[in-house]
Structure 1
């Protein structure tokens, strides 16, 4: 029994040691260079044969690591070298989707210029436009609309970008601008959620008077 307990203790210590050393994350030098925004190191590692789309323990590529912290120079160097802007990690984030959701506009533009899959979806079944609309990233929403993302895509919650901007937004100027942008992009102002509730009723329930006016002017009922 004592030997068994001792063995378990050793295994526990080994696990802690592995975590502390980063072994379980399987982080490569290229991931580290991306996190540090070290373009020179990125170039050197790639010239030495580093795998550009190597995965760490979370499934993230070096480009996604750079995108997480909005390391624009590193992201640009990796994308220019051919990194996959659509490579997803274990929770279905890709550099393109994450940049859109977080409002990392410069990296988003780079991904859009290098093959971003506009139809790709996150773990909630949403396009990049939906979380961008929810979080009030006006210029990101503008860029995604201009790129051609489907403004009426419905996620697993039964929400479009317009619905999510109203339901999860704060009704302030940023979300008013986003609602206006979506309307101008011909988003369906009468497309209801999975419970049959339309955008106008959601706006009224939340007391968003300015958004209510925008919707009514666009023919919402």
Structure 2
């Protein structure tokens, strides 16, 4: 978490601003310069101890920002208002908590500083201390009455959520021991366990389960479980921890995505996939709707399996793990797109070109799926075959492999395109959707390869070309 107290207050009070014309700036200036003698003399002369900068920052706040306990003590003895606020709602205590000086925090609390005075964002001194990882300061604030379950206003998060998000198990234990609600939810439905899952903090996760949190704890918005969050974040140790504690690997979120789907989508997710399968995850569960989290131009993900997602991302080790675990390579999406189709072009044709290593992964996945019996001439969404996709991305090794294994080169998609016309980036007369017919890249090597392998030249292929957009290669 990024504490507003740290990001704003420390910066705000570190620079002396011009004071209002009616204010006596001498004390403020002396505090900024850490001139103790000048401060003492000014206080003896009864200068206004609560004079403030235009933003409301007082001498005591400036002393807190400077971590100057001695000057802060002088100001408090001179009856400085310990709970004065600046325009951000910041107090001397919130500034001190941002700085982390325990002696200064204790001094202010002993002077009756309000431990629950929030910034305008709702962030309390306790949250600031927690965000700094300062357990001693957090403990001191709690001993002086800090509200352990207070929430900031932006995300509705608590100090316990911040501790879990910051991988601070010692503070998690402290807060739970002081009555922090381990089941509280942020505005987006996250609980402390979900934050810990996201960060892979097993120690905090264990403490939260011991506090009574359900191992299958879900977000109240999209229904993601802690296991899904851990898998999506690439946190293998946390995923295994949850599985060993009885987490159900087959629960799905509101889009039908399971932990296995999320792990399969992660480039380093093969080990998590194996762990999930070892703990009984069903390898062939299908999504129930498309997902905004995964951008596959032109492909609707409704009905996608974990294998489909892994193949579309070029995650060869994950594909192998899924196949070894019983994944069916022939299951298509609801629109008929098979793992083989997306394996040849890696999901979206509108992403960057693949590196040579990535092309090799796509080749290896394509080869594996064909060897398992996938139909090289099956037709998916928009009438594309695997060869259309390989031609689009210019993955020549895959193009050659498919043709050598029987892929037909004269197949038209629903826009009237063949693999060769796609490789030449032409626009067809029969285009029904310009989005899928524009921004193409000419793949000259792929075009030459297809012709060498026996594809009919475009002039003889029957492709109806808009001459305005086409130039004979």
TM more than 0.5 = yes
User: 257, 261, 271: which is aligned to 1:60?
Assistant: 257
RMSD of aligned residue pairs (Cα, Å): 2.6
Asked if 1:76 is matched to 2:274, the reply is: yes
Asked if 1:105 is matched to 2:274, the reply is: no
What is the aligned partner in structure 2 of residue 188 from structure 1?
408
Decide whether the 8 Å contact of 1:37 with 1:72 is kept in 2. Answer: no
In structure 2, C-alpha distance between the alignment counterparts of 1:200 and 1:210, rounded to whole Å: 11
Decide whether the 8 Å contact of 1:37 with 1:73 is kept in 2. Answer: no
Decide whether the 8 Å contact of 2:270 with 2:321 is kept in 1. Answer: no
User: 440, 448, 461: which is aligned to 1:213?
Assistant: 448
What is the aligned partner in structure 1 of residue 349 from structure 2?
none
Decide whether the 8 Å contact of 2:363 with 2:397 is kept in 1. Answer: yes
Q: Following TM superposition, by how much is the alpha carbon of 1:130 offset from its aligned partner in structure 2, in angstroms?
A: 1.5
Residues 56 and 198 of structure 1: is their aligned pair in 2 closer, same or farther, counting only changes over 3 Å? Answer: closer
Q: Following TM superposition, by how much is the alpha carbon of 1:187 offset from its aligned partner in structure 2, in angstroms?
A: 0.7
In structure 1, C-alpha distance between the alignment counterparts of 2:369 and 2:230, rounded to whole Å: 29
Unaligned runs of 5+ in 2: 1-155, 157-184, 191-218, 291-301, 347-358, 427-440, 457-473
What is the aligned partner in structure 1 of residue 188 from structure 2?
19
39-48 or 177-186, which moves further after superposition? 39-48
Q: Following TM superposition, by how much is the alpha carbon of 1:56 offset from its aligned partner in structure 2, in angstroms?
A: 2.1
SS of residue in 2 equivalent to 1:200: helix
Q: Following TM superposition, by how much is the alpha carbon of 1:96 offset from its aligned partner in structure 2, in angstroms?
A: 0.5
Residues 29 and 197 of structure 1: is their aligned pair in 2 closer, same or farther, counting only changes over 3 Å? Answer: closer
Residues 164 and 113 of structure 1: is their aligned pair in 2 closer, same or farther, counting only changes over 3 Å? Answer: same
Q: Following TM superposition, by how much is the alpha carbon of 1:108 offset from its aligned partner in structure 2, in angstroms?
A: 0.7
Asked if 1:49 is matched to 2:246, the reply is: yes
In structure 2, C-alpha distance between the alignment counterparts of 1:200 and 1:38, rounded to whole Å: 43
Residues 203 and 49 of structure 1: is their aligned pair in 2 closer, same or farther, counting only changes over 3 Å? Answer: closer
Q: Following TM superposition, by how much is the alpha carbon of 1:196 offset from its aligned partner in structure 2, in angstroms?
A: 4.2
Q: Compare the two structures and name the one with the higher helix fraction.
A: 1
Task: Report matched runs for 1:67-146 at 5 Å.
Answer: 67-70=264-267, 71-89=269-287, 90-91=289-290, 92=302, 93-122=304-333, 124-135=335-346, 136=359, 137-146=362-371
**What is the TM-score when the length of structure 1 is the normalising length?**
0.78
In structure 1, C-alpha distance between the alignment counterparts of 2:453 and 2:187, rounded to whole Å: 58
| Structure exhibiting the larger radius of gyration computed from Cα positions | 2
Q: Following TM superposition, by how much is the alpha carbon of 1:192 offset from its aligned partner in structure 2, in angstroms?
A: 2.2
Q: Whose RCO is larger (CA < 8 A, sep 6+)?
A: 1
What is the aligned partner in structure 2 of residue 153 from structure 1?
378
SS of residue in 2 equivalent to 1:121: coil
Residues 162 and 18 of structure 1: is their aligned pair in 2 closer, same or farther, counting only changes over 3 Å? Answer: same
Q: Following TM superposition, by how much is the alpha carbon of 1:18 offset from its aligned partner in structure 2, in angstroms?
A: 4.2
49-58 or 190-199, which moves further after superposition? 190-199
Q: Following TM superposition, by how much is the alpha carbon of 1:162 offset from its aligned partner in structure 2, in angstroms?
A: 0.7
Unaligned runs of 5+ in 1: 1-12
Q: Following TM superposition, by how much is the alpha carbon of 1:49 offset from its aligned partner in structure 2, in angstroms?
A: 3.2
**What is the TM-score when the length of structure 2 is the normalising length?**
0.39
Decide whether the 8 Å contact of 1:96 with 1:111 is kept in 2. Answer: yes
180-189 or 63-72, which moves further after superposition? 63-72
SS of residue in 2 equivalent to 1:157: helix
User: 382, 389, 396: which is aligned to 1:176?
Assistant: 396
